[in-house]
Structure 1
């Protein structure tokens, strides 16, 4: 049976892997719910959310060459304006919000460099690094006439 993309169907979980869950759909066809489509929050292990034999509602998100991709999180009806929990993530713990701090307010404002100044600085540093590299690896290359230590 061909399932229409976007349609919701009931299915039974028949297998769980580390990358998702296989769901038996009506008329014996099987589809896959990828681990990223199991829940709105981060899913480390599918077994934490599903068990073999669970009856679930899924939404068909694609069908290609007989392979049916399913989603549990897209099958959930949300009120208009409500988004997934990823956008409602709590603030990070520890260092605080570094975006709100203005590091330039300490009195020493660095003037902006133009492209030519940046290129000149880059070339100078690159030439210094190359000469240091040649000086340090010259004795290590071996061969005839090399310095012996």
Structure 2
């Protein structure tokens, strides 16, 4: 059992990264199903599947490597959570400018879709980023924080 501040911080970041990675892996599977069922929507679903695949692979590898005190695990957690934030904010901006459609089946689609995306992605991504980028997590993997 890890009792050090460094270990607890790193393990919390790894757990959040693993949960986020699993969420994006599930999104990837749903995107593949969308590609098969709705080939007319292949461009959007294909791009979304590619983003989900990258995010899942980076977050999952970071979440696995960080508890093993591998510096690449910390990097994966930081990069994956940052990329998740950027992808969500980019989608929100594209939807707000009309370049992408958020269709939840009723009035206020953009507001509901944007709030749902931010509520699901923002808190865990920010927490993962803060924990993985912290000095205790850096010390855990043996990176000098001077």
Larger radius of gyration: 1
Name the structure where helix makes up a greater proportion of residues.
2
More relative contact order, 1 or 2 (CA 8 Å, 6+ apart)? 2
TM-score range relative to shorter protein = under 0.3
Name the structure where strand makes up a greater proportion of residues.
1
| TM-score (norm: length of structure 1) | 0.20
| TM-score (norm: length of structure 2) | 0.20
